[in-house]
Amino acid sequence: MSLQLERRKAVQTDEVAGYERMLEIREFENQINGLFAAGLIRGTTHLCLGQEALDIALAAELRPTDTVMATYRGHGVALALGLTPESVLGEIMGKTIGCCGGVGGSMHLADMTLGLLPTSAIVGGGIPIAAGAGLAYQLLGQDNVGVAVFGDGATNIGAFHEGLNLAAIWNLPVIFVCDNNVYGEYSRIDKTTPLEDLHVRAESYKMAHYAVDGMDVLATRKGIKEAVDRARSGGGPTLIEAKTYRFAGHSRADKALYRPEGELEKWMERDPIKLTEENLTKRGLLDSAKIEKMRADMVKTIEGVVATCQAAPDPTVASMFENVFTK
Amino acid sequence: MAAMQFRQAIVNALADEMRTDPTVMLFGEDVAEAEGPFKTSEGLLAEFGPVRVRDTPISEMGFTGAAVGAAILGAKPVVEIMFIEFLGVALDQVVTEAAKMRYLSNGKLSVPMVVRASCGSGLGFGSQHSQTLENWFTATPGLKLIMLSDAQAAYSLTRAAIQDPDPVVILEPRILYAKRGEVDKNLKIEIGKARVMREGSEITIVSSGQMVDVCKSAIEESGVNAELIDLATIIPWDRQTVLKSVKKTGRLVVVEEAPLSGGWGSEIVATVASSLFGELKAAPFRITSPDIPVPYSGPLETRYIPTKEDVARQLKEVIATGKTPKTWWEMEGLK
């Protein structure tokens, strides 16, 4: 089994491994900030700090043969699904060891062996594509599931409505997962959307829908499992709204000064990592000494990943001419 | 060989591919029960059933995007866009998603999808249903673009496009659907290969789509011994065939249905001028429609598209004088 698939299996079978992966994502994202400041990453990045629970829940409940079409805010989902930190950071640093060989960058992460299509940097762009994955599974008689992960802002774009409508009329095995982190770029959702609960938009398509507490891994897993079971058994698509919060700004230039005072602090009280620690401690799976050690180890691990990626070679000039066409 | 209408050649190509490959599917607006607004899917629902032949909502972004996903995951979807203009709302899926997937997956996946769309002027559909719009796609590496000119091209290139592992856009000049032509089902036309329709020595004409027939008539009317090339694949285009021909004739005219500015013909003229400058007997030039929307009125639309009379005039003029002929609208002081 490849290292990537082993990483995936760990999250599927072991809650403590799932917690550890959340720590990995958190530490990874924290490091990205520093690497930007040091000029080692170019372009832009979109951090998922605070949204780690959903990524872990998806990785735990989906099979590697299911297809995930996620977004430019994709470091967390890629790591959760099993990509190695070296292949993700390597890609973000534009190196050969990156999952796309360095031609993709932060917004385009992929690993077909784990079911991760190249993440899309177009808001809503992946939603009909995930429906299409479901269409292929329906045609080919496979019991896999297509999954679109997108933000709250995407529910105002045509692709969302067209993708949901198509999945509904064709009863496709698809899960639409809206990661509602309250902000679409720099705008709070109440300025752009006349609804608080976005999942009710599925009503218009006679589609199953509900919200989950996106800060709570177990609650999110339960919601995703219900939708996966429905899709696999021919019951059609589901729209899930995971209520989360973006601890960082939209992208690297955004300090998120537009947030009402106290809003971030209030959400941070329900930091998904903290909630998971409390839950696992209560159940005897973790204790404070273990947590401290895991956190310290992860800092070192990611430091090692950064060093590896910094030392990795840049892609050859010839490599950018490859893979434009199959033939 | 069999004589059939252009639209029937498309039906035959789709049916033969669907018989050969069970992963080929067709969807679009009114393609199933109604058998296509231009009858290009006649009999397909009956033969292949509702899983493989589907009507969609009027939702180009949705179903074109679904084709991208289905293609990646093992299906070979053909989507029909009723009028090429309707692809405007779904360009993201073609240009920014489908054409980038292979690159962004480091070569791990491919997108074997086909987008078919009717296009072009001449039938009085007005300015929002009569454009060719092939130039929307010409600067998109990762995408292949075909414009059909007759029944044989319709059959052979539609099959080639479905078999191709990469995303292909096929433009079908609407005015040709009812036109009959001979089709040899065993004749293969490769994507990226131009078709030499007539050999000649005095000038090379490069054209595509419904302009190929116009050029044939113009050659007859002018008496110029022209070599006529149907470019067939607009991206990637067949440099070798075009350059070989112009090397022989020493002259080039590109005849396009689209408006003057920003056309693919400019690329061909530029390539020929750069590569064969010292060997040319006249400056390469283009015959196109003027930079205006397609007008509705019959007499106006007839003048709008390059006509056989105007192409014949320009052919004779360039041979006689070696100078680039003026456009008809310049001659009439209209621009």
Distance CA B302, CA A277 (A): 75
Q: Which of A99, A136, A140 sits opposite B69 (nearest CB)?
A: A136
Q: What mean pLDDT do residues A125-131 have? A: 98
Using alpha carbons, select from A17, A109, A5 the residue that is nearest to residue A63: A5
Q: What mean pLDDT do residues A212-230 have? A: 98
Residue A320 in any domain: the answer is no
The residue in chain B having the minimum alpha-carbon distance to the alpha carbon of residue A144 is B73
Q: Does A234 touch chain B (CB under 8 A)?
A: no
Question: For residue B109, which residues of chain A lie inside 8 Å, CB to CB?
Answer: 112, 117
Say if residue A222 is exposed, middle or buried (CB neighbours under 10 Å; 0-12, 13-18, 19+).
middle
- Where would I find the beta strands (DSSP E) of B144-239? 144-147, 168-173, 180-183, 195-198, 203-207, 226-230, 233-235
Residue A316 in any domain: the answer is no
For chain B, domains (ranges, CATH) are 2-183 (3.40.50.970), 195-326 (3.40.50.920)
Distance CA A100, CA B268 (A): 34
Q: State the CB neighbour count (10 A cutoff) for residue A218.
A: 17
Residue A187's SS3 state is strand
Distance CA B170, CA B59 (A): 19
Task: Tell me chain A's radius of gyration from C-alpha atoms.
Answer: 19
Question: For residue A137, which residues of chain B lie inside 8 Å, CB to CB?
Answer: 73
CB within 8 Å: A323 and B70 = no
User: For chain B, what is the total number of helices (H) and then of strands (E)?
Assistant: 12, 14
Contacts of B225 (CB under 8 A, 6+ apart): B200, B201, B202
The pLDDT of residue B116: 98
Residue A35's SS3 state is helix
The pLDDT of residue B183: 98
Residue A19 in any domain: the answer is yes
DSSP A126-139: HHHHHHHHHHHHHH
Q: Is the peptide bond before B306 cis (omega within 30 degrees of 0)?
A: no
Q: Specify which residues B169 forms β-bridges with.
A: B115, B145
- How many angstroms separate the CA of residue B333 from the nearest CA in chain A? 45
Each residue's pLDDT tens digit, A138-147: 999 999 999 9
Asked if the interface predicted TM-score (ipTM) of this complex is over 0.90, the answer is yes
Task: Pick the catalytic residue from B17, B129, B172, B227.
Answer: B129
Each residue's pLDDT tens digit, B270-325: 999 999 999 999 999 999 999 999 999 999 999 999 999 999 999 999 999 999 99
Alpha carbon distances (Å) from A188 to A154, A177, A250, A271, B251: 13, 19, 11, 20, 62
Q: What is the CATH number of the domain that holds A292?
A: 3.40.50.970
Say if residue B275 is exposed, middle or buried (CB neighbours under 10 Å; 0-12, 13-18, 19+).
middle
Question: For residue A125, which residues of chain B lie inside 8 Å, CB to CB?
Answer: 65, 92-93, 96-97
Residue A313 in any domain: the answer is no
Averaged pLDDT score across all residues of chain B:
97
Using alpha carbons, select from A87, A36, A95, A85 the residue that is nearest to residue A304: A85
The pLDDT of residue B44: 98
Ramachandran category for residue B160: left, alpha or beta (phi over 0 → left; psi -120 to 50 → alpha): alpha
The pLDDT of residue A36: 87
CB within 8 Å: B68 and A132 = yes
What secondary structure letter does DSSP report for A101?
T
Active site residue B317: no
Each residue's pLDDT tens digit, B171-191: 999 999 999 999 999 999 999
State what percent of residues in chain A have pLDDT above 70.
100
Averaged pLDDT score across all residues of chain A:
96
Q: Does A104 touch chain B (CB under 8 A)?
A: yes
Counting the structural domains of chain A, the total is 1
pLDDT of A94 > 80? The answer is yes
Alpha carbon distances (Å) from A99 to A119, A122, A136, A180: 12, 20, 25, 27
Contacts of B49 (CB under 8 A, 6+ apart): none
Helices (H), B73-169: 91, 99-104, 151-163
The pLDDT of residue A252: 80
The pLDDT of residue A253: 78
The pLDDT of residue B213: 98
The pLDDT of residue A255: 86
The pLDDT of residue A33: 85
The pLDDT of residue B270: 98
Enclosing domain of residue A141: 3-307
- How many angstroms separate the CA of residue A196 from the nearest CA in chain B? 25
Residue A41's SS3 state is coil
Residue B134's SS3 state is helix
Using alpha carbons, select from A37, A68, A42 the residue that is nearest to residue A55: A68
Question: For residue B110, which residues of chain A lie inside 8 Å, CB to CB?
Answer: 326
* pLDDT band for position A151 (cuts 50, 70, 90): very high
Q: State the CB neighbour count (10 A cutoff) for residue A152.
A: 24
**Placement of tokens 């809503």 in the chain:** A124
| CA-based max dimension of chain B | 61
Q: What mean pLDDT do residues B97-113 have? A: 97
Using alpha carbons, select from A155, A98, A122, A121 the residue that is nearest to residue A45: A121
* pLDDT band for position B20 (cuts 50, 70, 90): very high
Q: State the CB neighbour count (10 A cutoff) for residue B298.
A: 10
Distance CA B4, CA B7 (A): 8
The pLDDT of residue A327: 75
CB within 8 Å: A163 and B65 = yes
**Placement of tokens 């917004």 in the chain:** A107
* pLDDT band for position B231 (cuts 50, 70, 90): very high
Residue A226 in any domain: the answer is yes
pLDDT of B103 > 90? The answer is yes
The pLDDT of residue A313: 97
- pTM, to two decimals: 0.95
* pLDDT band for position A100 (cuts 50, 70, 90): very high
Each residue's pLDDT tens digit, A234-280: 999 999 999 999 998 888 878 898 999 999 999 999 999 999 999 99
Each residue's pLDDT tens digit, B234-265: 999 999 999 999 999 999 999 999 999 999 99
Using alpha carbons, select from A171, A191, A194 the residue that is nearest to residue A183: A191
pLDDT of B202 > 80? The answer is yes
Alpha carbon distances (Å) from B115 to B28, B67, B78, B80: 10, 9, 6, 6
**Placement of tokens 């809003």 in the chain:** A263
Residue A302 in any domain: the answer is yes
Q: What mean pLDDT do residues A143-163 have? A: 97
Range 14-73 of A in CB contact (< 8 A) with B: 67, 69
The residue in chain B having the minimum alpha-carbon distance to the alpha carbon of residue A131 is B66
* pLDDT band for position B229 (cuts 50, 70, 90): very high
Q: Which residues of A267-293 are buried (b: 16+ CB within 10 A; e: fewer)?
A: beebbbbebbbebbeeeeebeeeebee
- How many angstroms separate the CA of residue B210 from the nearest CA in chain A? 28
pLDDT of A109 > 90? The answer is yes
